[in-house]
Amino acid sequence: MTVDDLRALPLFADVSDAGLQRLAGCVAELERDPGQVIALPGDPGSGMFVICEGTVSVELRGDEPIELGEGNFFGELALLTPEATRIGRVRAGTRVRLLSIPREDALAIVESEPSVALKVLKEIARRFAGVPLDT
């Protein structure tokens, strides 16, 4: 994953060059086939994921699944609480390409890059408020 690839993702569009260099050195790219489980409730919250291509379905406590697509992220709550575990099942809706960012590295970016922190906080608030993705 190059600095330019990272900058193309909405979450990282305003990150400094130094921050992008740091991210490029720690992210892992994952690919999953449709239906493949990416996270399960109770799994350790070891980091967060950013969707580069494709879609995932997030299933939370009996609610209707939430579809997330390119540019969206999940697993961000693991950044805020060290002992956090996953709260939902996430599975690939289509063939999906993801970035996996280890907790400590993602937390360092959130702490050092205000634009990322604000985007993550806004998304957390949007999700808790139940506001649809397209608004």
The pLDDT value recorded for residue 134 is 61
- Grouping H, G, I as helix, E, B as strand and the rest as coil, residue 9 is coil
Report the chain (135 residues): mean pLDDT per 10 consecutive residues: 94 94 95 96 91 95 87 87 86 97 92 93 85 64
Q: What is the CATH number of the domain that holds 113?
A: 2.60.120.10
Provide CB contacts within 8 A for 19, sequence distance 6+.
Answer: 12, 109, 112, 113, 116
Determine, yes or no, domain membership for 63: yes
DSSP structure string for 58-119:
EE-TTSPPEEE-TT-EE-GGGGT-TT-B--SEEEESSSEEEEEEEHHHHHHHHHH-HHHHHH
The pLDDT value recorded for residue 39 is 94
Residues of the domain holding 21: 3-129
Determine, yes or no, domain membership for 134: no
What's the predicted TM-score (pTM) here? 0.90
Determine, yes or no, domain membership for 32: yes
Query: Total structural domains in the chain?
Result: 1
The pLDDT value recorded for residue 114 is 93
